[in-house]
A and B are shown apart, each in its own frame.
Chain A
Amino acid sequence: MIWALIWINVVWLGPFAGILAIALSNTGEISMLFAEAIENVDRGPIQGVRAAGANLMQTICSLL
């Protein structure tokens, strides 16, 4: 709600401000969820993929 009030200063009153407001507030919530998920990830598969010779990016992509 407050994000929407701030965003309508940036883009004029309309659906775009709504998109930005929803995006920003959801970013906070979803990144909280993602961070929790990444923190609680199982170490076993990571070690397995790393042992098979995957680099950092490949590890992240294969386990996401």
Chain B
Amino acid sequence: MTHESLGRSPPFARFEQAEAEQLHIKRRQKWLFGLAFVLACLLSAYVGEMDIPEFVDGLPAFFNYFRDTLPEIGLTTFSQDVAEWYRGWGKWLKGLCMTGANIPSPVSSELITQQGLSPSWFQRIIHFSALISFLGFTLYSLYELDFFNLPMIWQGLTKLFDTLQFMLPPAAHGRTMDFIWAVLETLAMAFLGTLLATIASLVFGFLGAKNVIAQPLFHFCIRRVMVFCGEWML
């Protein structure tokens, strides 16, 4: 049986027709989805007040922000500038030493055990007093931060429920359009923000993958940049 005769047989023709129909539906769905996506992008750009010229005009301000946070260090006045930058470093160092002095060091207990004191007794006292002082400091901190001020906490909780009560019969008070616009703006921000982020991430994902660029220092740096952008600045 040749291909021609197969094509003419009724079941095969029916199958081919059904397949063509399905492909047509699939292609149409793809186009519809693409159109809806582009429309959503345009609508979000409109609602989100995306203004590219304004963005380009204002871009220097973005870099100026980071430049202004850096100290000014000139070559001729290097030492004075560094001294200005680390103003009061002596006090910091003293404070650091005082913090360190309070930590019970294991060296001193070893020294005393060598001098003949019963090691188990001494260590037991050290551990017990450390535990007690830790617990005491915790309780003192909680007290100092008004954690045991139960009336205040109860008052705050009731205020929380008051806020919930305000929401309960949802009412726009004649500002329905404002609220709808705000909701649309939120959606547009989320949609466009995530879309732009995904496009940029395609590039950065490859740059940050260890098996694409096998350069440990570069890998480390770009991972830190990612963490900086994504988490520290959040």
**B113, CB-defined interface residue at 8 Å:** no
Contact status of A11 and B198, CB under 8 A, knowing A26-B193, A27-B204: no
A22 B190 Cβ-Cβ under 8 A: yes
From B47, B62, B194, contact of A10 by CB (8 A): B62
Contact with B226, one of A14, A16, A18, A31 (Cβ below 8 angstroms): A31
Q: Are A3 and B209 in contact (CB under 8 A)?
A: no
Q: Is the CB of B62 within 8 A of A9?
A: yes
Contact B54 A22 (CB under 8 A): no
Q: Is B58 an interface residue (CB 8 A)?
A: yes
**Interface membership of chain A positions 1-28, coded 1 if the CB is closer than 8 angstroms to chain B and 0 otherwise:** 1110011011110111011111111111
Residues in B with CB closer than 8 Å to A23 are 192-194, 196-197, 200
Per the bound structure, the CA–CA distance linking A37 and B204 in Å amounts to: 12
User: Are B231 and A9 touching (Cβ within 8 A)?
Assistant: no
Bitwise interface map of B from 218 to 233 toward A, beta carbon under 8 Å scored 1, else 0: 0000010111111101
Q: Which of the residues A16, A27, A39 comes within 8 Å of B51, measured between beta carbons?
A: A16
In the assembled complex, the Cα of A26 lies from the Cα of B59 at a distance in Å of 20
Instruction: List residues of chain A with CB within 8 A of the CB of B197.
Output: 22-27, 29-30
Residues on A with C-beta less than 8 A from B194 are 22-23, 26
Number of A-B contacts (CB under 8 A): 139
- What chain B residues lie within 8 Å of A54 (beta carbons)? none
Contact A19 B192 (CB under 8 A): yes
Tell me the smallest distance from the CB of B150 to a CB of chain A, in Å: 32
Main secondary structure, interface of B, reads: helix
B208 with A35: CB separation less than 8 A: yes
Contact between chains at A38 and B205 (CB < 8 Å):
yes
B-chain residues with CB within 8 Å of residue A39 when the two chains form the complex: 209-211
Contact (A38, B209) CB under 8 Å given A18-B189, A26-B193, A27-B201:
yes
- Interface residues of chain A, those whose CB is within 8 Å of chain B, are 1-3, 6-7, 9-12, 14-16, 18-35, 37-39, 41
B residues contacting A by CB (< 8 A) are: 47-51, 54-55, 58-59, 61-62, 64-65, 185, 188-190, 192-194, 196-198, 200-212, 223, 225-231, 233-234
Could you pull out 21 A-B pairs where Cβ atoms are within 8 angstroms?
Answer: A2-B233, A2-B234, A6-B65, A9-B62, A11-B54, A15-B188, A16-B50, A18-B193, A21-B193, A26-B193, A27-B200, A27-B201, A27-B226, A28-B225, A28-B226, A28-B229, A29-B231, A31-B201, A31-B205, A32-B227, A38-B212
Instruction: List 20 extra interface pairs beyond A6-B62, A25-B234, A34-B205, CB under 8 A.
Output: A1-B234, A9-B62, A10-B62, A11-B55, A15-B47, A15-B48, A15-B188, A16-B49, A19-B193, A23-B193, A26-B193, A29-B226, A29-B231, A30-B198, A33-B205, A34-B209, A35-B207, A38-B209, A39-B209, A41-B211
- What 4 A-B pairs are tightest by C-beta distance, nearest first? A28-B230, A34-B205, A22-B193, A28-B229
